C-alpha cells in the first residue's frame, strides 16, 4: 500500500503551533497530510458581519415600505380630513388600498365633501361627488 492514511487539514496563519505538532506526529507514523488553504476566523466573522448588516438593512427597508410609509400617508390623509380638505383626504385614503380603515374613511371624506358642496349651494358639484 502506497499511503497508509491521507489527512486533509485546514490550517490558518493563527494555527502555526498546531500545524507543527500535527506534522511531527503524523510523519512519525508514515501518514501524509494534504493541506487546504483556509481563511482565518476573523475573515469569516467579517463576512458574516457584512451579511448580517445587509440582512438588517433589507428588513428595515421592507418594514418601511409596508408598515411605516402607509402609516404616514394615513396620518396625512386624516390631518387633511380634520382641516376640512376633504378631496385631498379622499385621494389619500383611496391611495392606501384598504390599509386599516382607509376605505371607510374615504367614504366619510366623500360624504363630507358632498355635504360641504350642498351647504355652499353648488348643487351640480355636489351631485358629481354623490355619484
Question: Tens of pLDDT along 14-29?
Answer: 455 555 555 555 555 5
Residue 19 lies in a domain: yes
d(CA 49, CA 51): 5
Q: Is residue 4 scored above 80 in pLDDT?
A: no
Contact (CB, 8 A) for 29 and 36: no
Write out the residue range of the structural domain in which residue 25 sits.
6-38
* Number of domains within the chain: 2
Indicate the average pLDDT of the chain: 78
Residue 79 C-alpha cell reads as 390631518
Compute the C-alpha angle 45/46/50, nearest 5°.
115
Cα distances from 14 to residues 22, 52, 111, in angstroms, run 14, 25, 74
Question: 78 and 125: one domain?
Answer: yes
Residue 22 lies in a domain: yes
pLDDT in tens, 57-93: 999 999 999 999 999 999 999 999 999 999 999 999 9
pLDDT score, position 11: 47
Residue 1 lies in a domain: no
Question: 71 and 34: one domain?
Answer: no
Length of the chain: 131
Model confidence, pTM: 0.60
d(CA 116, CA 124): 12
For range 35-45, the mean pLDDT: 57
The DSSP-derived string for 53-64 is HHHHHHHHHHHI
pLDDT score, position 3: 45
Question: 25 and 79: one domain?
Answer: no
Please, what is the angle between helix 123-130 and helix 102-120, to 10°? 160
Residue 53 lies in a domain: no
Amino acid at each position: 500500500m502506497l499511503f497508509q492514511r491521507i489527512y486533509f487539514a485546514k490550517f490558518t496563519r493563527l494555527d502555526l503551533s498546531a500545524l507543527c505538532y500535527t506534522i511531527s506526529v503524523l510523519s512519525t507514523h508514515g501518514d501524509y497530510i494534504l493541506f487546504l488553504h483556509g481563511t482565518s476566523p476573523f475573515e469569516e466573522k467579517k463576512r458574516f458581519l457584512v451579511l448580517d448588516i445587509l440582512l438588517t438593512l433589507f428588513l428595515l427597508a421592507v418594514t418601511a415600505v409596508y408598515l411605516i410609509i402607509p402609516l404616514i400617508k394615513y396620518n396625512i390623509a386624516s390631518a387633511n380630513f380634520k382641516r376640512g380638505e376633504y378631496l385631498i383626504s379622499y385621494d389619500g385614503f383611496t391611495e392606501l388600498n384598504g390599509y386599516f380603515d382607509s376605505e371607510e374613511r374615504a367614504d366619510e371624506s366623500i360624504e363630507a365633501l358632498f355635504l360641504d358642496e350642498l351647504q355652499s349651494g353648488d348643487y351640480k358639484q355636489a351631485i358629481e361627488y354623490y355619484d
